[in-house]
Amino acid sequence: MEDPNTINRRKAITKLGAGFLAAAASNGMAASQIPDHSSMQDTLENPVDRYPKPPFKSQSQPWPGLAQDMDPPPDHGEKSYKGSGRLVGRKALITGGDSGMGRAAAIAFAREGADVAINYFPTEEPDAREVVKLIEEAGRKAVPLPGDLRDEDFCQKLVRDAVQALGGLDIIVSNAGRQQTRASILDISSEDFDWTMKTNIYAPFWIIKAALPHLPAGSTIIGTTSEQAYDPSPDLYDYAQTKAATMNYVKSLAKQLAPKGIRVNGVAPGPIWTPLQVSGGATQEKLQKFGGQTPLRRPGQPAELASIYVQLAASDASYATGQVYGSAGGSGQP
């Protein structure tokens, strides 16, 4: 005869499972989309050998560059990222969503159940089309919003269009950035300096300001800063300044918006294999050795940061605000 305690436990587990299915369905998540954790296994891999190492092939593209034309192509989690329903029902706007960390975040967010609007420079359309397809294949709504973030009117329109298309907004990832290597401050024109500042600092200011009236309590803002905020390279004088400013606006805004229930955090990558590097962000000499100076002896891939963006966006990280999460292969200071 079976132990009554065993029977009671089985009934409780059955009810719990049924309750989870009902809750998922009420959030618009089909039972077929609920992951079967019994079949999931985290395969151990040596991080040193997981991705390509230098030396890399010399290569150059016109700014802002395309991920699909890089050799080797970056990994944004296209084949590897598996969602678990952490962002079901959420609505995200990601700048620089066509490539790099923005693309990795877009793929991850969609596979976690969020609808996603991505902004990108118009010449990045080929990469953006790939991202839109991946979001839609995850069963989520994709909203492509190309345009130049140096224009305040466009940034305001970007937010309006995202809110209208998504039916609201509760995640902002301010990720787009411009990086151009210059050996000397004497080589940086006022036009170049202004371009970097407008893209990296003005645009987040305009976008966040326009978005705030639409963000309910529980919303999150995530800025992409960099190890350059802590340990700047001599040839990235203007870019490094903007990343230090990003780190500081994250911490300042987090204090300002905490009483409203809006969290603000940052991600600080180290050397990550993105089109920034091949479109003027690094010299050819630096590119060929890219990431080799880290303890892991290689650059990171955007896919390796995707879960950080998900964690900062998810509601179960509700006590994390004003934080900067580093991912730099053992280097960097955050």
Contact (CB, 8 A) for 29 and 139: no
Q: What share of the chain is helix, strand, coil (3-state, %, to 5)?
A: 45, 10, 40
Structural domains in the chain, CATH included, are: 84-327 (3.40.50.720)
pLDDT value for 24? 44
Sheet holding 142-146, edge to edge: 142-146, 115-120, 91-95, 171-174, 220-224, 263-269, 324-327
Confidence band of 144 (pLDDT split at 50, 70, 90): very high
- 53-69 pLDDT per residue, tens: 999 999 999 999 999 99
Q: Which two tokens stand for residue 124?
A: 């990045």
Q: Which two tokens stand for residue 84?
A: 């678990």
pLDDT value for 42? 75
Angle between helices 125-137 and 100-111 (to 10 degrees): 20
Does the pTM exceed 0.75? Answer: yes
Q: What residues act catalytically?
A: 239
- 20-51 pLDDT per residue, tens: 344 444 444 443 344 554 456 778 999 999 99
Looking at the DSSP assignment, which residues form a beta bridge with residue 268?
A: 326
Region at 126 (left for phi over 0; alpha for psi -120 to 50; beta for the rest): alpha
pLDDT value for 332? 78
Higher pLDDT, 93 or 2: 93
- 96-109 pLDDT per residue, tens: 999 999 999 999 99
Distance CA 237, CA 185 (A): 7
User: What sections of the chain are H helices per DSSP?
Assistant: 4-26, 100-111, 125-137, 152-166, 190-197, 203-211, 237-257, 275-276, 284-288, 306-313
Contact (CB, 8 A) for 170 and 216: yes
